[in-house]
Chains A and B, each alone.
Chain A
Amino acid sequence: MAKSQEKNAMLTKRWRKLLMGILFLLTLLVTGCWDRKEIENRGYVLGLAIDHVVSPEPKGLYDLNETPQSAGQRKYKLTLEMPKFSKSSETKEVSKGQSHLIWSGEGESMFAINRMIATKTYFAPFFEDIQILIFSEAVAREGVGDIVDFFLRDAEMRRRVKIFVTPGRAEDILKAKLQVEEANSTFISKLTANTAKAPYFAGKAELAQFSQAIRSNRSFAVPIVVVEDKEVRLIKGAIFNKYCKMVGEIGELEILGGKILRKTLKEGIVVVPNPANPQHIATFEIYEKKIKVDSHIQDDQVLFTVEAVLIGNLGENMAHEQDAVDPVFTKTVEKAVAAEVTRSIKAAFSKQQQLKADVTDLGGLVHRQHPEYWKNVKDRWDEEVFPMAQLDVDIKISIRRPVITH
């Protein structure tokens, strides 16, 4: 018995020694991270632009943009913007000169184009820091549901990527020389932070919402971006129907109404003719809001009711002779602002009906409030039911103060 125990102890000691030896050897193998990749070998993609291929013929001796594909056509041009790092002595800084690098490829598969670009640059495209994705209007009108599949499927892709449409070539937005030194994609991405201050463009449309809309067969809107004379601007909204095809635009003044319908309005201004002198104007600044949107079913017809109280300042009064705190004057401005906001809401609503695209997700409201009714109409909502829906708007404006002067 004692011998057996001694033998066991010996075995245990041997096991320990063996394990210690293996662990020691492992330290030699696991000193570095398998996934280590030096920062200079990563191609940090900041923005993507997708256009139709203009002319598939090569301009030079070699066709550098052609993507080898065993299936599909040479249909889309994918352009990537990456930051340009200068090789300063100690630190990596963004170059003071040209702040970006542009790479592109042409084909149909976004994945294949992306891999082809990796034959042009040793720092292969890396999408974890991507900020924006821009479609040209031509591509958007043809439909983007299939194109975005790669971006929704790829594990590197951020779901916060902001989506835009541009009337011209999307690549021009990335290639443009802007006044600022940062990369165009980063700058445009940051512009969307002002959506609360200036609700003239269709808010922030992120890849996550894009994906939700595609999977739920829902219409959606994305802002339009334009560039001219070293300036970039976000305007209007591109309306996509439930088949992911751009079918029209919603104007900047109607977007305010659209945001009230969607209950996403945060701040904003409304300019109206000045009641004291119609030749001049008065401007109301919204800083607080209470919005209630409801749906009602009457005789198989849908009626939406919007009740909103918008509270704010008289931000501008161009009729100097008028005392801005005069209650009669204030009431008249409030009525004028209410009329303009009502017009904006109704215009946004009828534009969507006209285009058969419920981008303010009023269908979602019907789903939440009348699930039984929704079951019967969800498949023909955009085409048949929504265009026949009625809207009742009740807007109340409250001017709290004329900012700091009478």
Chain B
Amino acid sequence: MMGWDLMTNHNTTISPMQFFVIAVNSMFGSSLLTLPSDLARIAKEDMWMPMLFGSILIFVAFWVAVKLSAYFPDVTVIDYHVLLVGRIPGFILNVLMILLMMVIVGIFERNFTIAVKTYLLDLTPPQVINIFTLGLAIYAIQYGLAPLLRLQQFLFAPEYGAFLTIILLGVLSIDANNYQPMLAEGITPVLQGMIPTWFTYTGPEILIGFLFPFINPKKGVLKWGIFSISVTACIYVMITLIVQGILGPTETTNTIVPTMMAYRYIEIPDTFIERLDGYLMTIWIVISFTSLINWLYFIAFGIGQMLKLESSRPIVVLIIPFIYYLLYVPPNAYAIQIITQWVNFASLFWGLGITPLLLALAWLKAKRKMPC
């Protein structure tokens, strides 16, 4: 095996900036395309505010996760769960966390397929899209984090440069009337809207548990992690504002994939700029794929750690059929919506319920060990 690989070589490190790249890519899942619809339903003209304030929740969860990991600088989340709560409860926690990650990946992939099938490859059977995406993911993950990270670092600037350019072109079609009245229903809908945004931001607070022992220097972790959340929050708020400006809250509520719908509307007469949904989709597929492989990699890595395997590579091949099965469990769009809500709550409970409890436990244990 060339270079370092978390799957096989635990003595290697990544820089905080490399963690930034992984964190940003992991957050950009498929919810980017569907989220404005939920926000518009709850917060109407203030739909961009929950997106902004929702990032505060993930800041808190990330801070807690970093502090918790700092108590166990040499082991991953899989190990410190066992160290903190014991073998069996720790094992249960690990299983629950891995299952949660798998369902998150399942929802990502299912929404990804719906968007690609609706707006790009309407004749291709969804199963073919899934098999090729997941198959490519198996191949990409087989060689560990090193090539994945190199690929992500290499693509990061051109990928997000093009992505931002396309997103900003949306400004040309907005109608300022769609932003008013502001806070007409008070602050309550804004606060309620923060909950569904969690699913959009989820990623760094979970992945840091796996990566913390390998990050060097550890001093920059919090700074770069918060920077990654800030960058993502800026892009999400920008997209929400543009979608709101183009479609308006009522139309956004009634649209399943509002982001694509909004960018389909953009057209600058007498120029080549029209129907940007195709361009957006092309870039988004790349971003979404990097998100998928990150999540899949850490699921396999986590399972490998739980089973004390020397290498997690075979696990990737074994979990793909399970993920594929999960994709087709929800029978329809309504079921996906309900499952997404539950997974959102579960993930929120994990980040702001379980992890702070574990931190408190770690703090207590550390305090007891201290000499009086």
Partner of B251, one of A34, A37, A212, A369: A212
Residue B155 is within 8 A (CB to CB) of chain A in the complex? no
Interface residues of A in 338-371 (CB under 8 A from B): 364, 367-369, 371
- Least Cβ distance of B88 to chain A in Å? 31
Bound-state CA distance A357–B322 (Å) is: 56
Query: Cβ of A159 and Cβ of B181 under 8 Å apart?
Result: no
Complex interface: chain B residues within 8 A of A364 (CB): 177
Complex interface: chain A residues within 8 A of B275 (CB): 158
Query: Cβ of B261 and Cβ of A159 under 8 Å apart?
Result: yes
Partner of B265, one of A35, A208, A215: A208
Residue A193 is within 8 A (CB to CB) of chain B in the complex? yes
- Least Cβ distance of A18 to chain B in Å? 11
Query: Cβ of B250 and Cβ of A368 under 8 Å apart?
Result: no
Bound-state CA distance A135–B141 (Å) is: 55
Residue B332 is within 8 A (CB to CB) of chain A in the complex? no
Bound-state CA distance A57–B132 (Å) is: 52
Interface residues of A in 63-86 (CB under 8 A from B): none
Partner of A160, one of B132, B247, B265: B265
Contact with B along A354-393 (1 / 0, CB 8 A): 0000000000100111011000000000000000000000
Bound-state CA distance A158–B123 (Å) is: 19
Bound-state CA distance A369–B123 (Å) is: 47
Residue A27 is within 8 A (CB to CB) of chain B in the complex? no
- Least Cβ distance of B143 to chain A in Å? 10
Residue B267 is within 8 A (CB to CB) of chain A in the complex? yes
Bound-state CA distance A204–B253 (Å) is: 24
Residue A95 is within 8 A (CB to CB) of chain B in the complex? no
Contact with B along A165-197 (1 / 0, CB 8 A): 000000000000000000000000000010000
Bound-state CA distance A208–B334 (Å) is: 25
Query: Cβ of A155 and Cβ of B251 under 8 Å apart?
Result: no
Query: Cβ of B180 and Cβ of A19 under 8 Å apart?
Result: no
Contact with B along A135-167 (1 / 0, CB 8 A): 000000000000000000001001110000000
Bound-state CA distance A312–B265 (Å) is: 33
Bound-state CA distance A32–B31 (Å) is: 30
Among the stretches B114-122, B204-212, B358-366, the one at the interface with A is B114-122
With A19-B139, A155-B122 already in contact, the answer to whether A212 and B269 are too (CB < 8 A) is: no
Complex interface: chain B residues within 8 A of A215 (CB): 250-251, 254
Query: Cβ of A35 and Cβ of B181 under 8 Å apart?
Result: no
Query: Cβ of B264 and Cβ of A35 under 8 Å apart?
Result: no
Residue A216 is within 8 A (CB to CB) of chain B in the complex? yes
Residue A211 is within 8 A (CB to CB) of chain B in the complex? yes
Query: Cβ of A155 and Cβ of B267 under 8 Å apart?
Result: no
Query: Cβ of B250 and Cβ of A212 under 8 Å apart?
Result: yes
Partner of B250, one of A37, A160, A216, A372: A216
Query: Cβ of B248 and Cβ of A193 under 8 Å apart?
Result: no
Interface residues of B in 84-103 (CB under 8 A from A): none
With A208-B265, A212-B250, A371-B184 already in contact, the answer to whether A35 and B124 are too (CB < 8 A) is: yes
Interface residues of B in 165-202 (CB under 8 A from A): 177, 180-181, 184
Query: Cβ of B139 and Cβ of A368 under 8 Å apart?
Result: no
Bound-state CA distance A159–B251 (Å) is: 12
- Least Cβ distance of B122 to chain A in Å? 6
Bound-state CA distance A34–B122 (Å) is: 9
Contact with A along B119-150 (1 / 0, CB 8 A): 11111100010001000000100100000000
Complex interface: chain B residues within 8 A of A159 (CB): 261, 264-265
Closest residue of A by beta carbon distance from B248: A212
Contact with A along B238-275 (1 / 0, CB 8 A): 00000000011011001000000100110101000001
Query: Cβ of B128 and Cβ of A34 under 8 Å apart?
Result: yes
Query: Cβ of B265 and Cβ of A368 under 8 Å apart?
Result: no
Bound-state CA distance A257–B120 (Å) is: 43
Complex interface: chain A residues within 8 A of B121 (CB): 34-35
- Least Cβ distance of B60 to chain A in Å? 32
- Least Cβ distance of B7 to chain A in Å? 13
Query: Cβ of A211 and Cβ of B139 under 8 Å apart?
Result: no
Partner of B177, one of A19, A193, A368: A368
Closest residue of A by beta carbon distance from B267: A160
Closest residue of A by beta carbon distance from B184: A371
Complex interface: chain B residues within 8 A of A160 (CB): 265, 267
Closest residue of B by beta carbon distance from A207: B265
Bound-state CA distance A19–B141 (Å) is: 13
Complex interface: chain B residues within 8 A of A372 (CB): 184
Complex interface: chain A residues within 8 A of B247 (CB): 208, 212
Bound-state CA distance A35–B248 (Å) is: 33
Query: Cβ of A367 and Cβ of B181 under 8 Å apart?
Result: yes
Complex interface: chain B residues within 8 A of A208 (CB): 247, 251, 265
With A19-B142, A155-B118 already in contact, the answer to whether A193 and B250 are too (CB < 8 A) is: no
Complex interface: chain B residues within 8 A of A369 (CB): 181
Bound-state CA distance A158–B248 (Å) is: 17
Interface residues of A in 32-78 (CB under 8 A from B): 34-35, 37
Complex interface: chain B residues within 8 A of A367 (CB): 180-181
Closest residue of A by beta carbon distance from B260: A155
Contact with A along B283-311 (1 / 0, CB 8 A): 00000000000000000000000000000
Query: Cβ of A155 and Cβ of B119 under 8 Å apart?
Result: yes
Complex interface: chain A residues within 8 A of B177 (CB): 364, 368
The 10 A-B residue pairs with the shortest CB-CB distance, nearest first, are A371-B184, A368-B180, A371-B181, A34-B124, A35-B123, A159-B265, A216-B250, A215-B250, A155-B118, A35-B121
Can you name 10 A-B pairs with beta carbons within 8 Å?
A: A34-B121, A35-B122, A35-B123, A35-B124, A212-B247, A212-B250, A212-B251, A215-B251, A368-B177, A368-B180
Interface residues, chain B, CB within 8 Å of chain A? Answer: 118-124, 128, 132, 139, 142, 177, 180-181, 184, 247-248, 250-251, 254, 261, 264-265, 267, 269, 275
4 more A-B contacts (CB under 8 A) besides A216-B248, A368-B177? Answer: A34-B128, A158-B264, A215-B250, A371-B181
